[in-house]
Structure 1
Amino acid sequence: MEALRALFAEGVGTACCDPRAAVARPYREEERFVERAVDSRRREFHAGRACARMAMSALGLEGVAIPAAPDRAPVWPEGVVGSISHCATLCVAAVALVRDGYGSIGLDVEPAEPLPADLVETICTPEEEAWLGRQPPERRMLLARAIFSAKESLYKCQYPLTGVLLDFQDIDIALHASSYHARFRRDAAGIARGTILEGRLTIEDGYILTGLTMTASRHAGLFRRLETANLTD
């Protein structure tokens, strides 16, 4: 899927599949995490793990079981970072190696459909709502869902490094044609308030895809501050 590969630089392995289709027999070590889940949840879980192994294979890595932590986040093999996301019709995964300078990856997929209007106030900051108000009416709620997706990929990327559970109101998102900027409105462990990180996005083929990578050090993270980013365009 070209749109998925375009989210990340060279050195990141990606893969996608349809969770409604049959996937390879799941690893027994993974089955226990969804043994009581409904069928749709089980299919999405196992499809996501299958995608993750395909992405690992693209980097020359052996496929292994990917269990879930108590917070349900994937537990990656030592030296590997990654992210898994899914919606009803698409599972996606991205993985990279710590030795290549990657500290964490965030990835999200959403259907390219309008966000329900009653969720906008919860998800969007006042600045984001003001920006949406200046967009063509027929695109506002689609862009609102893209903001949601950008926050999801950012949250999933920063959490392994900081251990901080961010609220939707803790981040301001500025969308651009094929990228987004995320500004922290609060401190998050090694990330200072006001830090701005850049991710990538695409809206095509019926999906919104957003992705972000971070480098890491033993002090939780090395973050690039983009002082010239315009969060109101």
Structure 2
Amino acid sequence: MIERILPDGVVAAELFDDPADVELFPEEEAHIAEAVDKRRREFTSGRHCARTALAKLGFPHVPVPPGERGSPIWPPGVVGSITHCAGYRAAAVSLDVLSVGIDAEPYLPLPPGVLDAISLREERVMLAALGGDLHWDRVLFSAKESVYKAWFPLARRWLNFEDALIRIDGDGAFAASLLVSGPSVDGRMLTGFAGRWTVAGGIIATSVTVPRDPG
């Protein structure tokens, strides 16, 4: 599912349930030693997806512990992202792009009050104009999550929901314009992101990649 919205050079692995025989590395286990069962299953299956995706790039099994603000610590030269929601876990990794962010959400409307908390007025106007019976509010939320996951490894600082303006296209694409100063990456200032979204099997998935400067 997630691979359909990722560009060439980014590989992924996904699960729709939790394997029972996955073992964690000690440095990963330390982060969830006191976690409840739900969190443990999400984390463990996410790391299994991460290692499966890394194997597609030729890497051996290695630990992928959480780092600053929970961002995964990948092997040198690798960028990637991990996501999970009820019934779905996935990871995407690459050696060819500067950053990647993925997110998965249940295909359900946001709880009452959440849209106002995570969106800008312009975005709410856009959602109303999109119409149809899709849960556009949840697509917006997921897009913002993917943007943050692509942003943080490059900027190393927080990005609030209101710090990026999302524009969603009905054809499966979205764009994010930064409303705060972005970092300099690959010799250029980062001013926004391009992403993709899809809905399948009761899951919304979004992705954002930051390509290298072709020049």
- TM-score, with normalisation over the residues of structure 2? 0.90
How far, CA to CA, are the matches of 1:17 and 1:89 in structure 2?
8
More strand by share: 2
1:138-149 matched pairs, under 5 angstroms: 138-139=133-134, 142-149=135-142
Which position in structure 1 is the counterpart of 2:73? 75
Residues 1:187 and 2:185 aligned together = no
The equivalent position to 1:55 in structure 2, one of 45, 53, 56, is: 53
Which position in structure 2 is the counterpart of 1:196? 192
Give the CA deviation at 1:152.
Answer: 0.4
Unmatched segments (≥5 aa) in structure 2? none
Unmatched segments (≥5 aa) in structure 1? 217-221, 224-233
Q: Deviation string for 1:80-127 (max 9, x for gaps)?
A: 111000002110100011xx3x11110000011111231111111000
Report the secondary structure of 2:184's partner residue. Answer: coil
How far, CA to CA, are the matches of 1:70 and 1:180 in structure 2?
27
Contact 1:162 1:188 in 2 (8 A): yes
Work out the number of aligned pairs and report it. Answer: 211
Percent of aligned pairs with the same amino acid: 37
Q: Deviation string for 1:35-59 (max 9, x for gaps)?
A: 0111110111111000000011112
Amino acid at match of 1:158: W
Give the CA deviation at 1:197.
Answer: 2.0
How far, CA to CA, are the matches of 2:199 and 2:21 in structure 1?
26
Contact 2:102 2:207 in 1 (8 A): yes
Which position in structure 2 is the counterpart of 1:160? 153
Residues 1:171 and 2:171 aligned together = no
Residues 1:134 and 2:129 aligned together = yes
From the superposition, tell whether residues 14 and 194 of structure 1 become closer, same or farther in structure 2 (CA, over 3 Å): closer
1:202-217 matched pairs, under 5 angstroms: 202-215=198-211
* More displaced stretch, 196-205 vs 165-174: 196-205
RMSD of aligned residue pairs (Cα, Å): 2.1
How far, CA to CA, are the matches of 1:42 and 1:159 in structure 2?
24
